[in-house]
Structure 1
Amino acid sequence: MSGTPLILQPLSCPDARFGSRWVGRRLQFALAARLAKRVSYHFYDGNPLPEPGTCQPCLVTVELHPEQHRSDACWAWETEWPDGAPLPERLTYLIEIEHADGSRHRILDPWARECWGGERWEQPLAFVQTANGDLQIRVRPHGFRFEGMRRLATVRPEPESRHRPAKPKLPLEQSIVYETHLRGLTRHASSPVLPTERGTYRGLISVLPQLRKLGVTVIELLPVFEFDECENPQKHPETDQPLVNYWGYSPLLFFAPKTSYAADPRNATAEFQEMVDAVHEAGLEVWLDVVFNHTAELDEEGPSDHFKALDLESWYLHDSDGKLVNHSGCGNTLRSDHALVRRLLRESLEYWAKVMGVDGFRFDLAPILNRDSAGNLRDTPDFFRKLQDDPALAGIKLIAEPWDAGGGYQLGQASQAEWAEWNDRFRDTIRRAVRGDKGQMAGLADALSGSPEVFGRSTQRRCLSVNFLSAHDGLTLHDLVAYSEKHNHANGEDNRDGHTPDFSRNCGIEGATEDTVVLELRQRKLRLFHALLHLAQGTPMLVAGDEFGRTQHGNNNAYC
């Protein structure tokens, strides 16, 4: 298709879904842009992988007209594909909006279900539109200051429906959660996975026999929504090499799976679905760690991918001085009580549950969803209840991380709406008891009983306590008994980052040692940790690698 002009006649389509989609031979688009005076769509061939140093010609530009294509805050249109003409396999597009003040902004469609530009891990690209509409593809520096766009939206025809295995629908009280990073799970050279599939959705399929043998029932994946791993501006203090955003808690899009996690990056959606199907056939569930508290647009100095240009006031919380509120610790905070934000969140969850096949969602910094338009915490979990009672999410597990970076701590709040919650009270009590702190017996008894004062005394209620001793955020289980202090120097922040205290103790020597007495004590404590975790009332969760003593060498914030 490259270089072949298109003729697209924009027709009125008031019932179009936000984003883009094919409906038969009709291609539909819709965008929430109440502040826009003009809107245009620029289309490109999305079949080839983007190569730096090349230029993609603009296939067609579609100018929308307010009197025909705008209804209130929504711009919507469609075009009919001629009979007999083959549908384009992949169309890539950017949206240009103009505000009343004359400012123009090129944006990524925030409802896009696939994207173009992140196909290769740690290859930072920028897309710069020329005066004639063509697209220059450049390598950009690491960090969040750059010219151009870092992703473009992609739309393709709907695939033929196929049979998919039924979801296991495991009761929460029978669940054992295994938290893991999809890329990290199979990326290492020692992995039994094919080299071309290491660190991918397909790679996870290859290790399902080992996970079943381990006895876990749930695979909880760190963020897989499309993110930009190259936005981290930090460098390694010793090598001066750029650091990355490895974890992915910085979503660019809320419907698109991470493209570079696919063995074939042109088919990330299909590969993700195949992975979920294989997990279900193995009798296990897939939960996703989802970030609906902030976006990759970061603070005032961060990039403008979509929401900042579309409607900064509607999408983000602001303080009395008009500055972005930072309850997320990442520069901005989504305005979760706004109807548009709630629509995005709900439609995203429904898409991942129904179309992608996911069984549950763990909400990062969940109290942000319980804040009003002024940023104040509500006393009742009303929005949590709405999601719990949503028919589209029936049977889906919902799990809250009950704290945020703005001082919001609400352990026990989400469980009032029948959500499960990460129980940090369990974590800290068990850590202190195993460390040998005095006065822990009453707390230990409460933790092993499922924290009944928080979650209730019935078995069904106590399973809402997700018990964990380590997670992606913090020291690994091994490092809890090998380090008394955090060692985050490689993060490039002078060891200032990371949660404290960890309630860890090194058993006599800091870090690696060959001292047999110290090693034996560490092994005994690790066995005790595992025993307490799995014997306690509640739903146990372990992080990948804790079953064999994985170390991060004392780093308790290994996000990069």
Structure 2
Amino acid sequence: MRMNQSHYQIAPGHWEQGGATVTAAGVNFCVFSRLADRLDLLLFDHVEAAAPFQIISLDPRVNRTFYFWHVLVLGLPDGTCYNWRAAGPCDTRESGCRFDPGKALLDPWATTVSDRLWDRKRARVRGDNLDSAMRAMVVRDDYDWEGDAPIHVPMNRAVIYEMHLAGFTRHPASGTTHPGTYRALIEKIPYLLQLGITHVELLPIMAFDPQDVPPDTAGRGLTNYWGYSTHSFFAPHPHFAVEQARARDEFRDLVKALHRAGIGVLLDVVFNHTAEGGVDGPTINLKGLGNEVFYHLDFDDRRLYRDYTGCGNTVNCNHPIVTRFLVDSLLYWVQQMHVDGFRFDLASALARGEDGNPQYHAPLLWQTELSPYLHRAHIIAEAWDAAGLYQVGDFPGFRWAEWNGRYRDLMRAFVRGDPGLISEVATRLAGSSDLYEARGRLPINSVNFITCHDGFSLWDLVSYDRKHNESNGEQNRDGSDHNISWNCGVEGPSDDPDIVALRRRQARNFIAILMLSQGVPMLLAGDEVLHTQRGNNNTYCQNNALSWFAWDQVQANQPMLNFVRGMICLRRRHPSLTRDRFLTGQIESGRTLPDIAWHGVSLDAPDWDDPEARTLAFTLAGTTEEEPPLHAMFNMGEEMQAFAVPVLPGRRWLLAVDTTTEPGVFPPDYPASLVSGCIRVGPRSLVVLEAQGSREVGVRSSPQPTG
């Protein structure tokens, strides 16, 4: 576009709202910079313009209020692109400032950005990068939500589906019109509905830097695919839009469509670090405007960054200005973009005070928890960071849910066949009360998962003992070595039918256990069709079929897909699996049986203290007289076991789940094969029975596990 005049008149503007705000008079620009001596606003005709058509130098006597710089450009149309330039001290050892008057800086409050000109290498050295910087765009906000609002599915009823927005439709077999975009995901909503999930948890969709990868990785033509390299906390990622200038509205279209289908939207938020990296990282925005405020810097030499994230820098998120900035971002995504909640990457880094030490009353965490405008938004913490702070079960706050890494590790070991875990397995199945109950928290504080984006996929978990990340270009040094996996006898692909059958059974075991556990289950997209990453447990840079959802495998792995759907359906029709309070093993008021009774192969005899035990069973009462009890039996040993089954006078047991079979999940009214009050459970498998009828019956209780 071309502006209708070469220069626009200006007025002082205001400081109340960061970013570019379209008003009746023009566009108000505002940005924070505490120690800058001079700020220039650069205006461009379009995102690829070689030079600005107007440069506005701000007068600190007129255009600065406290530490916010502002100006109103009269009559400026939306569609204008802009950057900031900041001059000031660069005595990095003493003040930590990194002002560079040659750098074209991206507005940290920008809601629409473009990186078409972006060159990360140019931004890493001092001097002018006007022709290779990211740019922000002025966009008028007149979106029609058509009555949409954030939805509220209670966490105890949630089934979360973690997915990469673009990777879900990038595969050539996806059949979408614009693969890898917000629009493409709308076309796949029927699939999500059939699967039965309640929320999608999207890997980072805030604008990030795809060029942020190590040199050897970049040399292989690989880019930052996952997106854990955010630079703009208010802008949707432009590469996921069909039209980059409409990225914000295209994302809104997606949210609105998901809400119409009854599906909530959770965002994976990366507040712990940014794409600007460490000392040798690029200057994009925060470094050039307020490096000494926005980042944790070394106490003795403020040229250096304190790195609690493993990514070169750590956001100083509990500084008052930074806390406001980040909370404003969350409010924006809830109020203006209608998202339903957030998962916070390396959230323990957000608990660190300005001195770097953990704080229980960390301002950012508590302002997020207690904000009246965020009280209906789900908030989930990855309760650890890369510097050794591990807070699973002890994350600050009360409402925060946590990725339960202890659940993941224990269930992997249990299904692998590790002995002597029975007591803790029962505790994890029952919602991890040992972690949460003493502090007044609930089963919904535990987000249970077996796999996630970071690590093996489900099929690789049962197919590999070791990571195989050579294709990432880091000599297989990247990614975790602690996978707690088992390859079932052969490393990697196998055409041995017995090994393939065992792997499929193990995969079904994991999904069944996940759906039978109290707490909030989270699935990794692709696990339901046994997607493989060929042993790569760190596909952060693999924007290719290694990471993309394998739509060409949906039909071939239909039995597994049906099993996952069936287990979600079983969970949804049994409120006893989604309790909002911890199980007690006691008979509740007005009831005739305990909420749960624990067993081993014999009734009332769980092997809490047997160091060789690999078997566990429980009987779970319904929450109402209409809900039938469930009886689950787990045999992770190598021999078939005969489990005693409780007698329910006037009722009979139906077979609901048997992971030794290819269907795995059975339709209602399928009779169980009981012999002398027992049922045979095959090696490395589990069976679930469902009582026919609705009247409560007596079931003997047993001692409870600790916790």
Q: Same fold (TM over 0.5)?
A: yes
Which residue pairs with 2:240 in the alignment?
261
Matched letter for residue 261 of structure 2:
A
Matched letter for residue 478 of structure 1:
W
Q: Is structure 2 residue 104 aligned with structure 1 residue 106?
A: yes
Shift of 1:143: 10
Matched letter for residue 413 of structure 1:
D
Which residue pairs with 1:249 in the alignment?
228
Which residue pairs with 2:146 in the alignment?
163
Is the Cα–Cα contact under 8 Å of residues 36 and 89 in structure 2 kept in the other structure?
yes
Q: Deviations over 1:21-44 (max 9, x none)?
A: 102233101111121111111111
Q: Deviations over 1:426-450 (max 9, x none)?
A: 0000000011112211121111111
Which residue pairs with 1:130 in the alignment?
none
Is the Cα–Cα contact under 8 Å of residues 38 and 88 in structure 2 kept in the other structure?
yes
The answer to which of 25-34 and 327-336 deviates more is 25-34
Which residue pairs with 1:23 in the alignment?
23
Shift of 1:324: 0.1
SS in 1 for 2:37: strand
Q: Is structure 2 residue 288 aligned with structure 1 residue 309?
A: yes
Shift of 1:3: 6.7
Aligned with residue 220 of structure 1, among 201, 206, 213: 201
Shift of 1:167: 3.0
Matched letter for residue 440 of structure 1:
L
Is the Cα–Cα contact under 8 Å of residues 459 and 530 in structure 2 kept in the other structure?
yes
Is the Cα–Cα contact under 8 Å of residues 2 and 57 in structure 1 kept in the other structure?
no
Q: Is structure 2 residue 477 aligned with structure 1 residue 483?
A: no
Counterparts of 1:455 and 1:292, CA distance in 2 = 25
Q: Deviations over 1:195-223 (max 9, x none)?
A: xx111001111111111100100000000
Which residue pairs with 2:529 in the alignment?
548
Question: For the structure 1 residues 346 and 21, does the alpha-carbon distance in structure 2 shift closer, same or farther, using more than 3 Å as the test?
Answer: same
Which residue pairs with 1:184 in the alignment?
167
TM alignment of 1:294-443, pairs within 5 A: 294-320=273-299, 321-322=301-302, 323-380=304-361, 383-414=364-395, 416-443=397-424
Matched letter for residue 180 of structure 1:
M
TM-score with structure 2 setting the length: 0.72
Counterparts of 1:534 and 1:342, CA distance in 2 = 37
Which residue pairs with 2:64 in the alignment?
70
Is the Cα–Cα contact under 8 Å of residues 398 and 441 in structure 2 kept in the other structure?
no
Matched letter for residue 346 of structure 2:
L
The answer to which of 152-161 and 538-547 deviates more is 152-161
Shift of 1:457: 8.2
Question: For the structure 1 residues 89 and 20, does the alpha-carbon distance in structure 2 shift closer, same or farther, using more than 3 Å as the test?
Answer: closer
Aligned with residue 451 of structure 1, among 426, 429, 432: 432
Counterparts of 1:379 and 1:140, CA distance in 2 = 37
Matched letter for residue 416 of structure 2:
R
C-alpha root-mean-square deviation of aligned residues, in Å? 2.2
Question: For the structure 1 residues 479 and 313, does the alpha-carbon distance in structure 2 shift closer, same or farther, using more than 3 Å as the test?
Answer: same
SS in 2 for 1:184: coil
Question: For the structure 1 residues 502 and 452, does the alpha-carbon distance in structure 2 shift closer, same or farther, using more than 3 Å as the test?
Answer: same
Aligned with residue 96 of structure 1, among 56, 77, 85: 85
Is the Cα–Cα contact under 8 Å of residues 10 and 64 in structure 1 kept in the other structure?
no
Counterparts of 2:377 and 2:451, CA distance in 1 = 24
Matched letter for residue 271 of structure 2:
F
Aligned length: 527
Counterparts of 1:213 and 1:206, CA distance in 2 = 13
Matched letter for residue 375 of structure 2:
A
Question: For the structure 1 residues 393 and 226, does the alpha-carbon distance in structure 2 shift closer, same or farther, using more than 3 Å as the test?
Answer: same
Unpaired segments ≥5 residues, structure 1: 82-86, 119-124, 127-138
Shift of 1:100: 4.9
Which residue pairs with 2:637 in the alignment?
none
Which residue pairs with 2:604 in the alignment?
none
Is the Cα–Cα contact under 8 Å of residues 272 and 345 in structure 2 kept in the other structure?
yes
Matched letter for residue 61 of structure 1:
I
SS in 1 for 2:467: coil
Question: For the structure 1 residues 478 and 415, does the alpha-carbon distance in structure 2 shift closer, same or farther, using more than 3 Å as the test?
Answer: farther
SS in 2 for 1:506: coil
The answer to which of 292-301 and 94-103 deviates more is 94-103
Shift of 1:384: 2.2
Q: Deviations over 1:107-143 (max 9, x none)?
A: 111111111224xxxxxx34xxxxxxxxxxxx77799
Matched letter for residue 35 of structure 2:
L
Shift of 1:189: 0.5
Matched letter for residue 253 of structure 1:
S
Q: Deviations over 1:212-236 (max 9, x none)?
A: 1001000000000111112223445
Q: Is structure 2 residue 135 aligned with structure 1 residue 152?
A: yes
SS in 2 for 1:225: coil
Counterparts of 2:448 and 2:125, CA distance in 1 = 40
SS in 2 for 1:414: coil
SS in 2 for 1:287: strand
Counterparts of 1:521 and 1:152, CA distance in 2 = 53
Question: For the structure 1 residues 144 and 542, does the alpha-carbon distance in structure 2 shift closer, same or farther, using more than 3 Å as the test?
Answer: farther
Is the Cα–Cα contact under 8 Å of residues 233 and 242 in structure 1 kept in the other structure?
no
Question: For the structure 1 residues 396 and 160, does the alpha-carbon distance in structure 2 shift closer, same or farther, using more than 3 Å as the test?
Answer: closer
Q: Is structure 2 residue 269 aligned with structure 1 residue 275?
A: no
Shift of 1:402: 0.2
Matched letter for residue 190 of structure 1:
A
SS in 2 for 1:559: helix
Shift of 1:80: 2.7
Is the Cα–Cα contact under 8 Å of residues 324 and 333 in structure 1 kept in the other structure?
yes
Q: Deviations over 1:411-469 (max 9, x none)?
A: 12337421111000000000000111122111211111111111228998101100000
Counterparts of 1:557 and 1:2, CA distance in 2 = 45
Counterparts of 2:205 and 2:122, CA distance in 1 = 20
Which residue pairs with 1:42 in the alignment?
42
SS in 1 for 2:220: coil
Shift of 1:151: 0.7
Question: For the structure 1 residues 458 and 210, does the alpha-carbon distance in structure 2 shift closer, same or farther, using more than 3 Å as the test?
Answer: farther
Is the Cα–Cα contact under 8 Å of residues 492 and 534 in structure 2 kept in the other structure?
yes
Counterparts of 2:307 and 2:464, CA distance in 1 = 31
Which residue pairs with 2:489 in the alignment?
508
Matched letter for residue 108 of structure 1:
L
TM alignment of 1:136-151, pairs within 5 A: 148=129, 149-151=132-134
TM alignment of 1:279-298, pairs within 5 A: 279-298=258-277
Matched letter for residue 112 of structure 1:
A
Shift of 1:98: 1.4
Shift of 1:165: 2.2
Shift of 1:62: 1.0
Query: 4+ residue stretches of structure 1 with deviation over 3 A?
Result: 3-6, 100-103, 139-147, 233-237, 379-383, 457-460
SS in 1 for 2:168: helix
Which residue pairs with 2:692 in the alignment?
none
Is the Cα–Cα contact under 8 Å of residues 83 and 104 in structure 2 kept in the other structure?
yes
Counterparts of 1:485 and 1:557, CA distance in 2 = 12
Counterparts of 2:122 and 2:170, CA distance in 1 = 22
Counterparts of 1:474 and 1:142, CA distance in 2 = 33
Larger Rg: 1 or 2? 2
TM-score with structure 1 setting the length: 0.90
Shift of 1:175: 0.3
Which residue pairs with 1:79 in the alignment?
73
Is the Cα–Cα contact under 8 Å of residues 20 and 112 in structure 1 kept in the other structure?
yes
Counterparts of 2:65 and 2:245, CA distance in 1 = 34
Question: For the structure 1 residues 144 and 280, does the alpha-carbon distance in structure 2 shift closer, same or farther, using more than 3 Å as the test?
Answer: farther
Counterparts of 2:175 and 2:115, CA distance in 1 = 29
